[in-house]
Structure 1
Amino acid sequence: MKGKKLFISAIALFLGFAAVAQEKSEFTPSGKVNGKVFFNYHYDMTDGEDQESSFEIKRAYFGYDYNIAKGLKASITLDVGKNDGGSDYTAYLKKAQLEWKASSAVKVSLGMIGTVQFKEQEKFWGYRYIMKSFNDQYGFGSSADLGIKANFKLSDAFSANAFVINGEGYKKVQDEDGKQRVGASLIYKNKGFIAKAYVDANSDKVAQEDGSEDDVTTSALAFFAGYKFSDKFRLAAEYNMLTNGTKYSRVAEDHDMEGLSVYSTYTFDKKWEIFGRYDYLTSNTLEGETEKWNAKNGSAITAGVQYAPVKNVKVAFNYQGFNFKQEGIDTNSLLYVNLEFKF
Structure 2
Amino acid sequence: MRGKNLLIGATALLLSFTAVAQDKADFTPSGEANGKVFFNYHYDMSEGTEQESSFEIKRAYFGYDYNIAKGWKASITLDVGKNDGGSDYTAFLKKAQLEWQASSAVKVSLGMIGTVQFSEQEKFWGYRYIMKSFNDEYGFGASADLGIKANFKLSDAFSANAFIINGEGYKKVQDDDGKQRVGASLIYENKGLIAKVYGDVNSAKVAVAGGTEKDVTVTALATFVGYEFSDKFKLAAEYNQLINGAKYSSASDNHDLEGMSFYSTYTIDNKWEVFGRYDYLTSNTLAGETEKWNLSSNGSAITTGVQYAPVKGVKMALNYQGFMKKDSSSEDNSMVYVNLEFKF
Q: Is TM (by shorter chain) over 0.5?
A: yes
Once residues 292 and 87 of structure 1 are traced to their aligned partners in structure 2, the CA distance between those partners, rounded to angstroms, is: 33
Residues 105 and 23 (structure 1), Cα distance of their counterparts in 2 relative to 1, 3 Å cut: farther
Once residues 45 and 84 of structure 2 are traced to their aligned partners in structure 1, the CA distance between those partners, rounded to angstroms, is: 24
- Other structure's SS at 1:55 match: strand
Aligned to 2:320: 319
Amino acid aligned to 2:143:
S
Amino acid aligned to 1:241:
Q
Residue-by-residue CA offset, 1:100-147 (whole Å, 9 max, x unaligned): 000000000000000000000000000000000000000000000000
Once residues 306 and 170 of structure 2 are traced to their aligned partners in structure 1, the CA distance between those partners, rounded to angstroms, is: 32
- Other structure's SS at 1:123 match: helix
Residue-by-residue CA offset, 1:223-252 (whole Å, 9 max, x unaligned): 000000000000000000000000000000
Residues 103 and 51 (structure 1), Cα distance of their counterparts in 2 relative to 1, 3 Å cut: same
Once residues 224 and 339 of structure 2 are traced to their aligned partners in structure 1, the CA distance between those partners, rounded to angstroms, is: 26
Cα deviation for residue 208 of structure 1 reads 1.4
Q: Residue 297 in 1 paired to residue 292 in 2?
A: no
Q: Residue 309 in 1 paired to residue 310 in 2?
A: yes
Once residues 67 and 339 of structure 1 are traced to their aligned partners in structure 2, the CA distance between those partners, rounded to angstroms, is: 30
Once residues 24 and 125 of structure 1 are traced to their aligned partners in structure 2, the CA distance between those partners, rounded to angstroms, is: 39
Once residues 143 and 194 of structure 1 are traced to their aligned partners in structure 2, the CA distance between those partners, rounded to angstroms, is: 20
- Other structure's SS at 2:168 match: coil
In the alignment, structure 1 segments of 5+ residues that lack a partner are 1-20
Aligned to 2:212: 212
In the alignment, structure 2 segments of 5+ residues that lack a partner are 1-19
The structure 1 segments of at least 4 consecutive aligned residues displaced by more than 3 Å after TM superposition are 21-25
- Other structure's SS at 1:201 match: strand
CA RMSD of aligned residues (A): 1.1
Residue-by-residue CA offset, 1:193-245 (whole Å, 9 max, x unaligned): 00000000000011110222111000000000000000000000000000000
The farther-off stretch of 147-156 and 208-217 is 208-217
Cα deviation for residue 22 of structure 1 reads 11
Once residues 62 and 268 of structure 1 are traced to their aligned partners in structure 2, the CA distance between those partners, rounded to angstroms, is: 31
Cα deviation for residue 57 of structure 1 reads 0.2
Once residues 21 and 88 of structure 2 are traced to their aligned partners in structure 1, the CA distance between those partners, rounded to angstroms, is: 45
- Other structure's SS at 1:128 match: coil
Cα deviation for residue 23 of structure 1 reads 8.6
Aligned to 1:28: 28
Amino acid aligned to 1:225:
V
Aligned to 1:233: 233
Aligned to 1:286: 286
After the TM superposition, which residues 89-104 of structure 1 pair with which residues of structure 2 at under 5 Å, given as runs?
Answer: 89-104=89-104
Once residues 37 and 139 of structure 1 are traced to their aligned partners in structure 2, the CA distance between those partners, rounded to angstroms, is: 22
Amino acid aligned to 2:252:
A
Residues 309 and 319 (structure 1), Cα distance of their counterparts in 2 relative to 1, 3 Å cut: same
After the TM superposition, which residues 99-178 of structure 1 pair with which residues of structure 2 at under 5 Å, given as runs?
Answer: 99-178=99-178
- Paired residues of 1:23 and 1:70 also in contact (CA < 8 A): no
Task: Report percent identity of matched pairs.
Answer: 79
Cα deviation for residue 191 of structure 1 reads 1.1
Aligned to 1:8: none
- Other structure's SS at 1:136 match: helix
Aligned to 2:199: 199
Residues 97 and 22 (structure 1), Cα distance of their counterparts in 2 relative to 1, 3 Å cut: farther
Q: Residue 336 in 1 paired to residue 340 in 2?
A: no
Once residues 21 and 303 of structure 2 are traced to their aligned partners in structure 1, the CA distance between those partners, rounded to angstroms, is: 48
Once residues 265 and 245 of structure 1 are traced to their aligned partners in structure 2, the CA distance between those partners, rounded to angstroms, is: 32
Residue-by-residue CA offset, 1:9-53 (whole Å, 9 max, x unaligned): xxxxxxxxxxxx999442211000000000000000000100000
Amino acid aligned to 1:336:
Y
Once residues 315 and 183 of structure 2 are traced to their aligned partners in structure 1, the CA distance between those partners, rounded to angstroms, is: 34
- Paired residues of 1:265 and 1:275 also in contact (CA < 8 A): yes
- Other structure's SS at 1:120 match: helix
- TM-score, normalized by length of structure 1? 0.93
The farther-off stretch of 205-214 and 161-170 is 205-214
Q: How many residues align?
A: 323
- Paired residues of 1:80 and 1:89 also in contact (CA < 8 A): yes
Amino acid aligned to 1:333:
S
